[in-house]
Structure 1
């Protein structure tokens, strides 16, 4: 029995990177460590592991600007070729990309793997580079189908509301990448929000989380047909780790939608919202807030 998931511990990561090196670097006499780059901590990692805890296939996805992502370091153990493990890894990475609102995925395919990626819907025939001067890579791309996570009209209007009433949101280039009537996902410009350490400014993390929670309540009120003002009453944030790459703020699905039904009473009410800010799949900040909603009668 096999399982496809993220590595859970240091031992699995050790196997994960070893398979990368063994498949993609050792045949070209490259040293251990050459299978990694500076984006590892920001990326989404997937492996296939069997019931003996042996890693059989690996792949990585990292985010780039403009709702795009790139797949790299695809590797399958030589003894497992032809068993469909590569397809399983790609599907898992595409599902993760869809969760964060990615619109297109890019990759540079080795010439020998071109047919594999074409069968999975990737297109392109331009040579991107020669690795070590000998291994030809072809630039390929595939659009991501977001299924039910299409942005509703009210969510698009939400960004306009932010930009027109909160100048900082426009300067930060905060945007919504996904909303599925349960969870709201936002991101912001990478370059503008970096501090002197080249990581995301704590104030930007706080602002992104605050507006994400506010926006989730805003969308829920629209769905309930309630008109009202939303005010942040209390908030707490825990910074868990630095964010070196693109950040995504995600409302926690445990937010209780039923609590919002009380707003129908047209009284000032409170709603608690949890937001996690991610770097890759790692939670970099946990934000908890209480918003007060002041309903008002429709004119």
Structure 2
């Protein structure tokens, strides 16, 4: 297994003569790997000669110090999982100092308003942190293709905007949400849930699915009210937001426009753990 802790070591491996003409697939993660991450790796392996996985809990995208502290760090287990999948995957697991070189702050980015919706409203500075780390990682790895899950759909759209605005030569590939058998979207945060809360959290996808049905015949406002009322029946959950937005602009849907693609976005707390999900409404 190839595990590199510095960008210099990784770049030395990637710059070998035999690698020069090969496609590089890249899967950036914060570790605590699950089957969703492995599905991204499988897609990269099928489309590229070289696959790089980064494992780095990025401090600049957390606006909650306690959340950063509690974020699961399971590098040894992660490496074992990847090794079972494919021993030739290159793992980049840097320190904060290797990435930020003593200056752990984020750069301010303009994503043409995409950053001001949903997550941006509730997590100030989050997408500056995301843009900072993704841009740094792209500069280090210089991938041909990079793979991101659709669970973080707003992040996916922001990364696409980042690449377009900064003319970064990489193709961004969005990959479908990988779900537990209950329907709960797979997330590293799920590991922090108690067994009972994890079971109960299937409600999130159930309500999303019913909202999708509602939206076929009801207005956006009626669908939002339906979701808000459903969560009021379940006191173990605290609904932070539920929004219906256009897929391209992420602007809140006020009135449905024919042939426009919409998506529902949700963030809820259970046991003080924040879970997000999304579903296409087309």
Q: TM-score, normalized by length of structure 1?
A: 0.27
Tell which has more relative contact order, 1 or 2 (C-alpha 8 A, sep 6+).
2
Higher helix share: 2
TM-score, length of structure 2 as denominator length: 0.28
